[in-house]
C-alpha cells in the first residue's frame, strides 16, 4: 500500500541553504517522525516547485492528472505539500475536478523547517494519516493542518502567521487527527465534478475571470471596459450581497454581456436572495441578472466560474452550478 506525495514549493520546502534552493519531497518526508508506522509507504515526487502565489490553474490541474495516474496505479491516497498563500483556492480547484474515492489531501507549513516549532513535519504526518484512512475516502479534496481536517469547499486561511491559520467559518472542521486516528465528524456532501473529461488548455487560458471587491463610495470606474477582456466577473459585495445603488446599473449592464456572480466580502455567511429589495441590494441585483454565489466566498467563486467557462458553460449552466455548489 502506498500514498503518492507531490511536493510543490512554499514555506514547508524552504531549505535554508543556497538562496532559492528548496527541499525535495524526499527531504521533506525524511524529517517527519512516525511515517514508518502508517502501514503505507510515501512515494514522493517533485512537481512545479514554485511559491503558491505563482501557481497557475494549469499547473494545479497537472498535479491532479499526475495524482489520478498514481491512484490508477494503486495509490490509496494523495498528499500535496505547497505554500499556504493560495492553498484554499487550489484545494477547491482540486475538489471541483477530483473524481476518485481516494482522499486528496493538501497541507503545508507556516514556519520554515529551520525555525523553532516548525509545523511542517506534523502537518505532513497528519495529511498522510488522512490520505491512508478509509474514513476519508469519498470526501474529495481535504486540507490537513494543525491536526484538523477541513473540507476544501469551506476552508480559509484566516491568519497571516498563526500555525492554526486554516479554519472553516461556515462549517467548522470536517474532522480531527487524535492520537494518530483520523476521526471524521461531519462528512461534506460531494458535488458534481467539473471538467469531467479533462480540460482544454487554450480554453482555460481564455477563460479570464475578474474579481471586484466593492468598497465605500465605489463608483464602478474600475469596471469600465471589463467585458471586453474578461469572460466573467465575481463581485465581492457588502454583507449579505449589497453594493452602492449607483453601482447596480453598471453591474446589470455587465451581466447582460458576461456572467456576473454576487458574493460577500465578509468571509463567512451567505448572500441572501430575497430579504432586501432596494436598489443595489440582493433582490435588485438578481433582477438585473447577477448570479447568487450562495455560501461561496469570492475566491472560491472565481475558481468555480473559471472552470465553468473553460467547460463552455452558458449563463443558465453557470447559475445551476452555483445553485448546487454554493448551497
Active site residues: 11
Spell out the residues 6+ positions from residue 127 whose beta carbon is closer than 8 angstroms to its own: 79, 81, 105, 106, 107, 144
200-206 long-range contacts (CB < 8 A, ≥24 apart) are 200/310, 201/58, 203/309, 203/310, 203/312, 204/57, 204/58, 204/61, 204/306, 204/310, 205/58, 206/231
- Cell 505547497 belongs to 82
By C-alpha distance, which of 91, 6, 88 is closest to 50?
6
- CA–CA gap between residue 252 and residue 112 (Å, rounded): 46
CA distances from 240 to 222, 267, 287 (A): 22, 11, 16
What does the block give as the cell for 150? 477541513
- CA–CA gap between residue 195 and residue 277 (Å, rounded): 36
Which residue stretches of the chain are H helix? 25-30, 57-72, 87-97, 120-132, 201-206, 248-255, 282-287, 298-310, 315-325
By C-alpha distance, which of 148, 327, 302, 297 is closest to 237?
297
- Cell 516547485 belongs to 49
β-strands 175-178, 2-7 pairing? unpaired
- Cell 475536478 belongs to 97
- Which SS3 state, helix, strand or coil, does residue 142 take? strand
Amino acid at each position: 500500500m502506498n500514498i503518492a506525495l507531490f511536493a510543490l514549493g512554499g514555506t514547508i520546502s524552504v531549505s535554508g541553504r543556497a538562496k532559492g534552493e528548496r527541499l525535495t519531497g524526499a527531504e521533506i518526508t525524511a524529517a517527519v517522525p512516525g511515517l514508518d508506522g502508517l502501514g503505507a509507504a510515501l512515494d514522493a515526487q517533485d512537481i512545479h516547485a514554485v511559491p503558491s502565489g505563482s501557481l497557475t490553474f494549469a499547473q494545479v490541474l497537472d498535479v491532479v492528472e499526475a495524482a489520478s495516474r498514481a491512484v490508477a496505479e494503486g495509490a490509496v491516497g494523495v498528499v500535496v505539500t505547497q505554500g499556504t498563500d493560495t492553498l484554499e483556492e487550489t484545494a477547491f480547484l482540486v475538489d471541483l475536478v477530483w473524481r476518485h474515492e481516494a482522499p486528496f489531501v493538501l497541507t503545508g507549513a507556516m514556519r520554515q523547517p529551520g525555525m523553532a516549532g516548525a509545523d511542517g513535519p506534523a502537518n505532513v504526518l497528519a495529511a498522510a494519516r488522512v490520505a491512508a484512512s478509509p474514513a476519508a475516502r469519498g470526501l474529495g479534496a481535504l486540507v490537513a493542518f494543525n491536526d484538523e481536517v477541513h473540507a476544501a469547499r469551506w476552508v480559509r486561511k484566516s491568519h497571516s502567521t498563526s500555525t492554526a491559520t486554516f479554519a472553516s467559518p461556515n462549517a467548522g472542521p470536517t474532522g480531527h487527527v487524535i492520537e494518530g486516528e483520523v476521526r471524521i465528524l461531519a462528512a461534506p456532501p460531494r458535488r458534481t465534478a467539473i471538467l469531467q473529461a479533462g480540460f482544454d488548455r487554450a480554453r482555460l487560458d481564455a477563460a479570464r475571470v475578474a474579481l471586484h471587491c466593492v468598497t465605500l463610495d465605489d463608483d464602478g470606474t474600475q469596471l469600465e471596459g471589463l467585458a471586453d477582456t474578461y469572460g466573467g466577473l465575481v463581485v465581492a459585495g457588502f454583507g449579505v450581497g449589497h453594493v452602492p445603488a449607483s453601482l447596480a446599473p453598471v453591474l446589470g449592464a455587465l451581466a447582460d454581456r458576461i456572467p456576473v456572480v454576487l458574493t460577500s466580502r465578509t468571509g463567512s455567511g451567505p448572500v441572501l436572495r430575497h430579504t432586501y429589495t432596494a436598489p443595489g441590494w440582493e433582490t435588485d441585483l438578481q433582477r438585473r441578472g447577477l448570479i447568487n454565489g450562495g455560501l461561496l466566498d469570492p475566491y472560491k467563486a472565481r475558481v468555480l466560474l473559471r472552470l465553468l467557462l473553460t467547460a463552455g458553460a452558458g449563463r443558465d449552466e453557470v447559475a445551476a452550478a452555483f445553485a448546487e455548489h454554493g448551497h
